[in-house]
């Protein structure tokens, strides 16, 4: 070799050496294209490392790749605050003293604000809390459709309408993820009640699936860009949803192009072969006590752990699926903890409390207000009687996995006392005893709610005080105990528990200025509705519960919440329960499988009440204000639309009262004639506008083909049939203020 060639060879050897030793791997470069990072990391991983990153190593943690400096993945519930730390391998508390959080209002309340900007603020605030706690994945939000008021988990979801849920979930996701924390939108899909949640096989037609139960998830994926999604416990087409070919591979990954991680619900995985092939990417919670199936390390026995290796070794499956799963997990890591996000997040900041309070303020719904009983005036130093267990009970503990350990929580009673101050007198009577326990997974409220008095004694005391008061505020409803608004259980009926109906009836006789505040995530029966002048739907309001309620009760805030679901008069008025239907379905002979047929089809909530003429107690979209609004005539940019067009609708709304207020103007579409039966009307637009007294503000909507379409099960696509459509502008689904018509024409 001549001198020149020797030098060249030496030079390239040095170059090669320095590239190997000094150039940092692409996967560590936060500025490199995401897919290059993923491929680079993947190419450096052994098979066992890939297997390791696709299943848990503790309750909420799955491993990274230590050898490559890829950190572990930490998940947390969700969706209303950051869950306190539990032990590595048990559900009990880890005992940290720095893991208290802000509890934000439950998602039903968020949906009731009908304010997408507040949803973005919610997402950002909870995202900051998750970031501070160094989490990669926030297990939420939930968008399962509210099909029955018995579902114990409705409070964690966004109501009965797919359009509303879609519009509200997208900003939440973006708000969380801009903090470098992935949302895990749950529970995909058809998880609409809790009893038999592991063994219910949902039978549903394709049209209903696509029109009602999928749109919010689709929006979460395609518009929100969620980085992970949680597959549900139940079954569909006889296959568990955590490894469901049709739902995960065909719809989610192929049709919607989801490039993120499918996370199993905790303990929702049942079969290695299906989990490998049918789209599950990250397995959690399979043997959650850490004891069964392998005392020393249950995690090695997870379906996507050693049993997966055995399948590969036996040649039954290749490594194509493994690479795909590992790629997805890596992608999520490079989007979150290795995403180069600046900022450390923040926990329990005053800004977060402020967000929680404003969401509560805007989510509380004024259901009824006769003779202006609300707001309660403090001008004449009133004597105010507060009655009810929910006025004092901490509601942030309980309800299942969404249970929290809060830094602070202001009860309704304390909020009322604080707002009244020296401008009146506040007296409290218990009225009823509900559930006096206050513990979840070792988090205790520390409240002693025991009271040994009888129902008669409690009512008698409340009645006596009510007779002496200027106003009575009853705070009751449901709570987070099993059988009410609580995971893994459903309610037994629509009625309020603990003899509250009897108490409310008695209070209504004792004092004509009665305000009933219903705390719940579900509709309840109100047989006393006619006798009570003022009713507020108070939700679970989190840390700022007392402040938000007092803001509305005393008029600091003008209520503007609107119901995200229908309040039926009675349970059999709900389509899933009408005609003697059992929403739980039918148990299969000799098998622990419950076939739940969604025979109510697309007629859920107002779609049923409207179309079939069943009068609700309070309709979807309903919510009053302390001021009044007058709707003007809508104007359409055109009376003719082609499939490519958009029509703009403008509606002037005037505040005709004396107070500033906000009104959510709702746009429903009615298909005048269609080849398939359609609901009488469907929500396709809404705008929340803030209007000063005497002022007129114009709400503006844009309608395109998607607002006119239905899912054609034969064609397997969304279809807008040419013909006449009506635009219905309403203050609720039942209070339509004006109409206009246009025609969709076939293009030439």
Q: Contact positions toward ligand BGC, by CB under 6 A?
A: 77-78, 139, 186, 265-266, 401
Q: CB of residue 515 vs ligand BGC: minimum separation in angstroms? A: 34
Residue number with CB closer to ligand BGC (84 or 605): 84
Residue number with CB closer to ligand BGC (77 or 161): 77
Within 10 Å of residue 318's Cβ, how many Cβ atoms?
11
Q: CB of residue 139 vs ligand BGC: minimum separation in angstroms? A: 4
Residue number with CB closer to ligand BGC (266 or 620): 266
Backbone angles phi, psi at 285, to 5 degrees: 70, 15
Q: From the candidates 265, 361, 435, 610, which is the catalytic residue?
A: 265
**Residue 267: Cβ-neighbour burial (10 angstroms; 0-12, 13-18, 19+):** middle
Residue number with CB closer to ligand BGC (186 or 193): 186
Q: CB of residue 356 vs ligand BGC: minimum separation in angstroms? A: 21
β-strand 365-369 against 534-537: which pairing, if any? antiparallel
Residue number with CB closer to ligand BGC (596 or 641): 596
How far is the C-alpha of 672 from the C-alpha of 25, rounded, in Å?
61
Q: Which residue is nearest to ligand BGC (CB)?
A: 401
Residue number with CB closer to ligand BGC (77 or 160): 77
How far is the C-alpha of 469 from the C-alpha of 704, rounded, in Å?
55
Residue number with CB closer to ligand BGC (231 or 458): 231
The percent helix, strand, coil of the chain (3-state, each to 5) is: 30, 20, 50
Residue 288 sits at the vertex; the CA angle it makes with 287 and 291, to the nearest 5 degrees, is 65
Would you call 29 a catalytic residue per the annotation?
A: no
Tokens describing residue 569: 């008069």
Side-chain half-sphere exposure of 719, counting CA atoms within 13 A: 15
The residues pairing with 728 across neighbouring beta strands, listed in sequence order, are 668, 739
Q: CB of residue 77 vs ligand BGC: minimum separation in angstroms? A: 5
Within 10 Å of residue 585's Cβ, how many Cβ atoms?
20
Q: CB of residue 248 vs ligand BGC: minimum separation in angstroms? A: 17
Tokens describing residue 171: 């900003």
Tokens describing residue 289: 């006590």
Pick from 142, 227, 141, 220: which is nearest to 178 by CA?
227
* Contact between 440 and 446 (Cβ < 8 Å): no
Full DSSP string of 142-154: B------TT-TTG
Q: CB of residue 235 vs ligand BGC: minimum separation in angstroms? A: 15
Tokens 């064609």 appear where?
A: 715
The residues pairing with 630 across neighbouring beta strands, listed in sequence order, are 654
Pick from 708, 727, 618: which is nearest to 112 by CA?
618
Within 10 Å of residue 239's Cβ, how many Cβ atoms?
18
Cβ neighbours of residue 149 under 8 Å, at least 6 residues apart? 491, 494, 522, 523, 524, 565, 568, 571, 574
Q: CB of residue 127 vs ligand BGC: minimum separation in angstroms? A: 17
Q: CB of residue 52 vs ligand BGC: minimum separation in angstroms? A: 21
Tokens 């202001």 appear where?
A: 410
Residue number with CB closer to ligand BGC (208 or 401): 401
Tokens 């805007």 appear where?
A: 362
Fill in the DSSP letter of residue 48. H
Cβ neighbours of residue 373 under 8 Å, at least 6 residues apart? 471, 513, 514, 515, 533, 534
How far is the C-alpha of 503 from the C-alpha of 522, rounded, in Å?
20
* Positive or negative torsion for Cα 494, 683, 173, 41: positive
The set of catalytic residues is 265
């Amino acid at each position: 070799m001549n001198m020149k060639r020797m030098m060249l060879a030496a030079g390239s050897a040095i170059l090669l050496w320095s590239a190997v030793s000094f150039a940092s791997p692409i996967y560590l470069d936060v500025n490199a294209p995401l897919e290059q990072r993923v491929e680079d990391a993947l190419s450096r991983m052994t098979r066992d490392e890939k297997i390791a990153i696709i299943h848990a190593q503790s309750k909420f943690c799955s491993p990274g790749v230590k050898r490559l400096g890829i950190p572990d993945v930490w998940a947390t519930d969700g969706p209303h605050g950051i869950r306190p730390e539990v032990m590595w391998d048990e559900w009990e508390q880890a005992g940290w003293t720095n893991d208290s959080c802000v509890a934000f209002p439950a998602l039903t309340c968020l949906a009731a604000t009908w304010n997408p900007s507040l949803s973005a603020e919610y997402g950002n605030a909870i995202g900051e809390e998750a970031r501070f706690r160094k989490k990669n994945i926030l297990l939420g939000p939930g968008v399962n459709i509210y099909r029955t008021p018995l579902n114990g988990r409705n409070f964690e979801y966004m109501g009965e309408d797919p359009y509303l849920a879609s519009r509200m979930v997208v900003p939440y996701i973006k708000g969380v993820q801009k903090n470098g924390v992935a949302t895990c939108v749950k529970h995909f899909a058809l998880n609409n009640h809790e009893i038999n949640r592991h063994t219910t096989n949902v039978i549903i037609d394709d049209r209903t699936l696509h029109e009602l139960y999928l749109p919010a998830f689709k929006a979460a994926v395609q518009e929100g860009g969620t980085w992970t999604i949680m597959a549900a416990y139940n079954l569909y087409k006889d296959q568990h949803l955590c490894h469901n070919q049709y739902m995960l591979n065909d719809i989610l990954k192929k049709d919607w192009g989801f490039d993120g991680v499918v996370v199993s619900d905790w303990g929702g995985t049942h079969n290695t072969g299906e989990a490998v092939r049918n789209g599950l990417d990250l397995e959690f919670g399979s043997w959650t006590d850490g004891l069964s199936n392998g005392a020393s390390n249950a995690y090695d026995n997870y379906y996507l752990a050693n049993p997966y290796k055995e399948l590969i070794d036996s040649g039954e499956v290749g490594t194509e699926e493994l690479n795909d799963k590992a790629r997805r997990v890596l992608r999520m890591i490079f989007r979150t903890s290795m995403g180069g996000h600046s900022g450390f997040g923040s926990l329990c900041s005053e800004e977060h409390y402020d967000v929680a309070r404003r969401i509560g303020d805007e989510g509380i719904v004024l259901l009824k207000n006769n003779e202006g009983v609300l707001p309660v005036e403090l001008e004449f130093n009133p004597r105010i009687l507060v009655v009810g267990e929910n006025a004092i009970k901490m509601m942030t503990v309980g309800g299942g996995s969404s249970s929290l350990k809060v830094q602070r929580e202001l009860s309704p009673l304390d909020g009322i006392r604080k707002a009244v101050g020296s401008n009146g007198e506040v007296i409290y009577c218990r009225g009823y005893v509900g559930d006096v326990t206050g513990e979840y997974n070792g988090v205790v409220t520390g409240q002693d709610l025991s009271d040994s008095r009888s129902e008669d004694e409690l009512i008698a005391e409340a009645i006596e005080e009510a007779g002496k008061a200027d106003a009575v505020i009853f705070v009751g409803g449901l709570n987070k105990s099993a059988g009410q608004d609580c995971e893994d259980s459903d309610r037994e009926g629509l009625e309020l528990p603990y003899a509250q109906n009897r108490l409310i009836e008695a209070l209504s006789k004792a004092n004509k200025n009665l305000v009933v505040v219903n705390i719940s995530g579900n509709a309840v029966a109100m047989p006393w509705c006619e006798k009570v002048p003022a009713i507020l739907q108070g939700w679970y309001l989190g840390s700022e519960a007392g402040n938000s309620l007092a803001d509305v009760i005393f008029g600091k805030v003008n209520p503007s919440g609107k119901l995200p679901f229908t309040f039926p008069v009675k349970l059999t008025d709900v389509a899933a329960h009408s005609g003697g239907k059992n929403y739980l379905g039918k148990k299969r002979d000799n098998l622990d499988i419950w076939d739940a047929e969604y025979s109510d089809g697309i007629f859920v909530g107002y779609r049923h009440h409207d179309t079939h003429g069943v009068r609700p107690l309070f309709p979807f979209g309903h919510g009053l204000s302390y001021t009044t609004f007058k709707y003007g005539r809508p104007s359409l940019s055109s009376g003719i639309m082609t499939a490519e067009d958009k029509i703009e609708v403008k509606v002037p709304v005037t505040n005709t009262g004396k107070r500033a207020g906000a009104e959510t103007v709702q746009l429903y579409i009615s298909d005048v004639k269609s080849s398939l039966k359609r609901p009488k009307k469907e929500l396709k637009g809404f705008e929340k506008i803030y209007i000063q007294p005497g002022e007129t503000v114009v709400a503006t909507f844009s309608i395109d083909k998607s607002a006119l379409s239905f899912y054609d099960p034969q064609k397997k696509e969304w279809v807008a049939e040419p013909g006449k459509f009506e635009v219905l502008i309403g203050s609720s689904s039942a209070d339509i203020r004006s109409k206009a018509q246009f025609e969709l024409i076939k293009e030439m």
